Amino acid sequence: MSQHVPAVHGHCDERFTAVRTAFEENFRDRGELGAAVTVTVDGETVTDLWGGWADPARTRPWERDTLVNVWSTSKGPVALCAHILADRGLLDFDAPVAAYWPEFAAAGKEKVLVRHLLSHRSGLAGLREGHTLAQLCDWELTTKRLAATEPWWEPGTRSGYHALTYGFLVGEVVRRVSGLLPGAFLEREVTGPLGIDFRIGLPEQEAGRAAELVHPPAASSSEQAAIFAQLAPAALAALGNPAVGAAQANTPEWRAAEIPAANGHGTARAVAALYGIFAGQGSYDGHRVLTPEAAERVREGQGSCRDLVLGAGFEGETEVGLGLWLSGPNNSYGPNPRAFGHDGFGGSCGLADPEAGVSMGYVMNRMGPHIADDPRKMALVDALYGVL
């Protein structure tokens, strides 16, 4: 094996050798630094691989229990919290958000529904006033500002990616209904009982297991100017207020905060397990987390459109369900258009395909330039479906 391809550890059933090959090719051909991938079929782990380095200096090998910030792959577990509450009759997706969060009715938002928060249709893709990273780490301040602000577009009519605000919006509803922030609710209801190694916000005592993120190659200043010139004000607010990347995500402040849309930390095994709840029609490893009807509801399409924030980055239209993205014509989560999942900024991914009984978690630390459908992730998805 070339010195440029680190040893890959773990196990892979013989039938899924193509996934291992694609994983190794990510290191050889696609610039992977450190990563892990886990695939389950009908609840059984058929692939669980890791390799490479947890830091750019290549002094810390990626271990079996290495954690990494998975950015927006965290949104799936946040949606799961809301679906658990709805499944218990405690949360109505067709009710106004203000029924649970009265202050939210300000600035013309009295008719915004809970389903609009889950499907990125509330119009609150970003804040209008400048918001710093320190302020983002302040739950009370961020949710107070979101409650007071006006939408960027008519709620319910179009989706526009709520990159950072999603976790505060859905998360505050979870808190108002359950009394717990989403990280604590997820731990009490799901990750604790099922032994899933995933946290929203990372306790200081776990920081030694965390991989260091490496930012994607920067565009030139002229390229950046051209990109920003194409973005509508809502997109600028969603993606740049505040601007966050690897440098911010490697700080103790980011890791410790509750930023549910973007700072979940976990292993590939944990991501596969969380998305496996949806793939298993609400059940995972003998535990029923959701009724089958509730698990099905997460992929209830809310209408396809060219996303108002991410539109330029995708061919054609995309569709969000009640918390996760449908695979659709882009085959983002494989050839089943009703498979679904979520990608994280720079490459990570969680995938659920109930028809195939498949879930997948892919995590890494060298971020690519893509918000979704990173070539490394797509190579793994294509290899997986090539053998199913």
Catalytic residues: 72
Q: Is the dihedral of CA 111, 114, 115, 117 positive or negative?
A: positive
CA distance 27 to 32: 4
**Which element (helix H / strand E) includes 51?**
strand 44-52
DSSP code for 212: P
Residue with tokens 């920003």: 228
Residue with tokens 């498979």: 339
**Which element (helix H / strand E) includes 34?**
strand 34-41
- CB proximity list for 58: less than 8 A, separation 6 or greater: none
Q: Is the dihedral of CA 263, 62, 271, 359 positive or negative?
A: positive
- CB proximity list for 204: less than 8 A, separation 6 or greater: 252, 256
Angle between the 375-387 and 17-29 helix axes, to the nearest 10 degrees? 160
Residue 63's nearest CA partner among 176, 235, 211 is 211
Residue with tokens 């739950």: 139
Widest CA span of the chain, in angstroms? 61
Q: What tokens appear for 283 in the block? A: 């059940």
Residue 34's nearest CA partner among 63, 10, 12, 14 is 63
Q: What tokens appear for 189 in the block? A: 């209801």
